[in-house]
Amino acid sequence: MQPVSAAELPAFSTSRFRAEREADWIAFDLLLTRLERKGAAALTSDELLQLPILYRATLSSLSIARATSLDKALLGHLEALSIRGYFLVYGVRETRASRLRRFFRYDWPAAVRAVWKETLIIALVIVLGALTSYALVASNPEWYYNFVPEEMSGGRDPHATVDYLRSTLGHGKAAAGEQSSGLHVFATYLFTHNSQVSILSFALGFAFGVPTMMLEYYQGIGLGAMLALFSGKGLGVDFGGWLFIHGTTELFAAALSGAAGLRIGAAVVFPGARGRLEAAADAGRTAGKVMIGVILMLLVAGVLEGFGRQLITDTMLRYAIGTVMLLFWLAYYYIPRREDVA
């Protein structure tokens, strides 16, 4: 009796192998498809019990197919079905709500902690910009016009009276039109300005971080000039409260946006052992999570600015709210979570 040729054996084995086991593969594939589309609720109790049995049967078929060198198409099909089955049967499946909770509880704070060095650098740059303009305006009030556009100052300039400046902070007596202007014009300008600079700081981070540093320095210029103006009229504490109620959130967001941009710029300049594109992509994933949080922080700052500051006119209460918000953000970001240690 002549032996079966090598060419005839695989074809015969593949055909018989399929005939014996293909029904299980099809059943497993159908259950996985329903599980993917509609979730576990779409399967009966018996079908749920069948899932691990069919999964192990598919693994057994894959093992035999590899050992006997069956055709590549069948081998590829079984490998794909096994991987798909593993993730659906034994993998952790999260709902959208679960992923959202994870982002707020772990991913966003972890991303912010990852850029703490960049955040500190950007915060110092903002403070440096504020100190520069403050010193210049305090020594020569005419510098004020170089830092705050006249159309945006709403009448707050070195020639304004103390009563008028106080009224723009929500204190004292003033005409309705003047008070409305005082409460909204510069507030709108400051929020819009800071939001635009924050987004640009992140977007331009790829240019080695240089534009980011310049924009964040400019971020502090208008703030320092306005503080010097009010301080020169004896209203520095009142202006601080007017700004503090939302500024701790808004300026924190500005620092984080700059830190996100700086992280990308640093990855481009110092990629380490990785390629520049790979390093930038890795930094971009962290920076992207930070920026999602920045947008949310700016929305919170907008609410505090649009409602809280207009309705709350007591200076000490404004400071208290701003302090509580600052402590909240610091605790939220920098207190380690249990999952981070695991």
Residue spans per domain, the chain: 11-89, 100-336
The predicted model gives 180-202 an average pLDDT of 65
Q: Which two tokens stand for residue 287?
A: 């920076």
The pLDDT tens digits for 143-178 are: 998 888 776 677 788 888 888 888 888 765 443 344
Q: Are 94 and 70 in contact (CB under 8 A)?
A: no
Residue 225: per-residue pLDDT: 92
The pLDDT tens digits for 85-118 are: 887 777 655 566 777 888 898 899 999 999 999 9
Residue 183: per-residue pLDDT: 47
Residue 318: per-residue pLDDT: 92
pLDDT band, very low/low/confident/very high, at 140 (cuts 50, 70, 90):
very high
pLDDT of 266 strictly over 90: no
Contacts of residue 199, Cβ cutoff 8 Å, sequence gap at least 6:
257
Nearest to 294 by CA among 242, 251, 245: 251
The residue with greater pLDDT, 242 or 311, is: 242
Q: Mean pLDDT of all residues in the chain? A: 82
Q: Which of 24-28, 44-48, 124-128, 334-338 has the highest mean pLDDT?
A: 124-128
Residue 184: per-residue pLDDT: 56
SS (H, E, C) 144-185: HHHHCCHHHHCCCCCCCCHHHHHHHCCCCCCCHHHHHHHHHH
Residue 341: per-residue pLDDT: 42
A 10 A CB-CB count for 165 gives 23
The pLDDT tens digits for 313-324 are: 888 999 999 999
The predicted model gives 72-76 an average pLDDT of 81
pLDDT band, very low/low/confident/very high, at 336 (cuts 50, 70, 90):
confident
- Percent of the chain at pLDDT > 90 equals 28
A 10 A CB-CB count for 280 gives 20
pLDDT of 124 strictly over 50: yes
Residue 136: per-residue pLDDT: 94
